[in-house]
Amino acid sequence: MTARTLYEKIWDNHVVVAETPDTPAVLYIDLHLIHEVTTPQAFSVLRDRGLKVRRPDRTLATMDHSTPTTPVRKLADIDIVGPAAAGQIRKMQANCAEFGIELYDFDSPYRGIVHIIGPELGATQPGKTIVCGDSHTSTHGAFGALAFGIGTTEVGHVLATQCLLQRKARTMAVSVDGQLAPGVTAKDIILATIGKIGVDGGTGHVIEYRGDTIGALSMDERMTVCNMSIEAGARAGLVAPDDTTFEYVAGRPMAPTGDAWERALSTWQSLPTDPDAQFDREVSIDATALSPQVTFGTNPGMVIDVDGEIPTRDGDAAFHKALDYMGLTSGRPIAGTPIDVVFVGSCTNARLSDIERAAALLRRHRVADGVRMLVVPGSEQVKADAEARGLDDVIRSAGAEWREPGCSMCLGMNGDSVPRGKLAVSTSNRNFEGRQGAGARTILASPETAAASAVAGVVADPRPLLAGA
Amino acid sequence: MSRPITRVSSATFVLPQTDIDTDQIIPARFLTTTERSGLGRHAFADWRYDDHGELIADAPLNSAAAKTAKILVAGNNFGCGSSREHAPWALLDFGFDAVISSEIADIFRSNALKNGLVAVVVDTDTHRELLANPGLELTVDLVDRALKFADGRKVAFPIDDFARYCLMEGIDQLGYLLKQGEAISRFEAAHE
Ligand code: SF4
């Protein structure tokens, strides 16, 4: 047998009908995650054609994008997000009931951002194919699962057939080696990677993150890395499953147990890329050279060291348009720029460890006057775990807001948004124009950098504060 | 999808910006809809409307040229970002039937082709020429897999055979997948 990459092994294991020059492969999907924004039109197609959901048991449904981050104790509480968003939530409830899909609804202890609850529940497992009508499905690749975002038409395909028509992607290895300096995080690895390969550097590829730095990351951190693969244009990111992965999955509600666990484990252990396997492209990153990263423009590839200067690019109209939008100037340090909002949340950085790291900086410091800081846990579980550790008190006492789980200010669909012209430091994944609200300006950063900036009231290097914390 | 498409002909409309993401094509605040129709009025909303929701008279996308063009020529890496299929729905409803760039993001392109928005990637020289000449009369010809210029010049473009076949025949991919039911059942039986 020829040497194969992790991607190729998972692909081969899921081919229902092989691809030919004329036709794409029919690929089986083990797990379909669905949420309220990208499914209503797909359910309508099923209804119009008299189709059922083929595998409700392989469909995991929740609501996260347009949900309020204020408490929902009774159904009418969702109306705070406005009639359209509330209507979408009600539609999701009705669709799941009609098609027999279990919904992790407001009364569930597991509701949350779809990419946070899949892993938490143990539904995300190595070797699986996982899709969702959401581009950050790449997050689940941290487990060595082939996970990618699809459109609503394809959501309909998976609901009806549990399969997708797919062409095989090219493969790219991103090798990260060396020890990270204190204050440098998984978020900084992925921002630096996108800065290096560009926002289209991964187009047509599936990235496998490898190297000793990646191997030393926790699952939370690997998820942060894989999450932003799409920001480099790659549909999926992967990390080979190892003991860190298996320990995370073991004992979770949907994880296999007993003999089934042993069988799963031996399959999972066979998944990592063979030593002689070839990637179509290879990139390496020296982790020892990394500093905390911040974006300065309007896509995630416009990124610099937090203690660096905003670059100069004479004659590049797009570059200057981005700087104008951001209200920033070439040649100036980015640190020290006054900020208005700090957002700690999103499927990139709203797991327990992210909240803990942000809260650690808030224990002895307060959010600066004039800065609004919003901390939004990624799921009910994260919220409960954080509250059990008293982090909600730490966050509130420091002058920040502690909210109910959801996507929130990451995309501003539910009313949590950054006002026009205001500058936010956010732990989310997109700094596109208007992403966090019409006219909003976004700087992407790690939870540490976000919290340090909240305390300073300006874009701030977290390292001095961390050293003193 | 049903309407078979063999070619799209019109003057081009050019958006030269690189990396136009799907949040620009349709901002998230318009994704609360549960329908797929009527999204054209939100296409490029933040580029076309001012803070008070009024159309910006001199915004290029509000020009007569934009309204009549069926072919959008966009800067490199068009459609990056979110997987929202609302993006091709909005472009189609706005009036574009084809989009050309030197690179088109994977999920956007897949979504576009499934909805009858012909998404075509051309070489950088052709791309540069198209960007520099807005309003050029052009035909995107799926039969010949080529762009055809008014002067008779042809430039070939690559397109996946299956996607092309589905566009030209108006084939619905869900129908194709549903026909694989037996193979899917066999796969499930072997892997449960
Ligand atoms: S947190 Fe943001 S990026 Fe993640 S799923 Fe929600 S909206 Fe998408």
Instruction: Report the residue among A116, A139, A428 best suited for mutation to probe ligand 1: largest number of ligand atoms under 8 A from its CB.
Output: A428
Residue B3 has pLDDT above 90, yes or no: no
For A128-142, the pLDDT digits (tens) are 999 999 999 999 999
Residue B133 has pLDDT above 60, yes or no: yes
Q: Residue A81 has what pLDDT? A: 87
Q: Residue B113 has what pLDDT? A: 96
- What's the average model confidence in pLDDT over A42-64? 97
Chain A positions in Cβ-Cβ contact with residue B79 (cut-off 8 Å): none
pTM of this prediction?
0.97
- What's the average model confidence in pLDDT over B49-73? 96
Q: Please classify residue A217 by burial: count the beta carbons closer than 10 Å to its beta carbon, then call 0-12 exposed, 13-18 middle and 19+ buried.
A: buried
Q: Residue B161 and residue A435: Cβ atoms within 8 Å?
A: no
Q: How many helices (H) and strands (E) does chain B have?
A: 9, 7
In the β-sheet with B118-121, what is the strand arrangement from edge to edge?
B118-121, B98-101, B71-74, B7-15, B137-141, B146-149, B154-156
Q: Residue A76 has what pLDDT? A: 87
pLDDT confidence bin for A75, thresholds 50/70/90: confident
Q: What was the ipTM of the complex prediction?
A: 0.95
Q: How many angstroms separate the first and last alpha carbons of chain B?
A: 33
- What's the average model confidence in pLDDT over A429-444? 97
- What's the average model confidence in pLDDT over A212-238? 97
Nearest alpha carbon, ligand 1 atom 1: A346
Instruction: Report the residue among A407, A409, A417, A442 best suited for mutation to probe ligand 1: largest number of ligand atoms under 8 A from its CB.
Output: A407
- A-contacting residues of B 121-140, CB under 8 Å? none
B138 sits in which H/E element: strand B137-141
How far is residue A179's CA from residue A212's CA, in Å, rounded to a whole number? 8
Residue that is written with structure tokens 């949040």 in the block: B23
How far is residue B80's CA from residue A135's CA, in Å, rounded to a whole number? 10
Residue A72 has pLDDT above 60, yes or no: yes
**Coil/strand/helix, residue B178:** helix
pLDDT confidence bin for B122, thresholds 50/70/90: very high
- A-contacting residues of B 11-70, CB under 8 Å? 17-19, 21, 23-24, 27-29, 31-36, 46, 51
How far is residue A409's CA from residue A422's CA, in Å, rounded to a whole number? 13
Q: Residue A28 and residue B176: Cβ atoms within 8 Å?
A: no
Say what angle helices A40-49 and A152-161 make with each other, to 10 degrees: 50
Q: Is B185 within 8 Å of chain A by CB?
A: no
| A161: closest CA of chain B, how far (Å) | 6
Chain A positions in Cβ-Cβ contact with residue B80 (cut-off 8 Å): 199-200, 233, 299
Q: Residue A74 has what pLDDT? A: 85
A358 — phi, psi (to 5°)?
Answer: -70, -45
Mention every residue, 6+ apart, whose C-beta is less than 8 A from residue A20.
none
Chain B positions in Cβ-Cβ contact with residue A50 (cut-off 8 Å): none
**Residues lining ligand 1, Cβ inside 6 A:** A 64-65, 113, 115, 134, 136, 346-347, 407, 410-411, 428-429
pLDDT confidence bin for A469, thresholds 50/70/90: low
Q: Which atom of ligand 1 is nearest to the CA of A115?
A: 5
Strand partners, B10: B138
For A312-340, the pLDDT digits (tens) are 999 999 999 999 999 999 999 999 999 99
| B29: closest CA of chain A, how far (Å) | 5
Tokens of A191: 């921002």
- What's the average model confidence in pLDDT over A457-466? 97
Mean pLDDT over the full length of chain A: 97
* Beta carbons of A410 and A391 less than 8 angstroms apart: no
- Among residues B28, B35, B142, the alpha carbon closest in space to that of A152 is found at B35
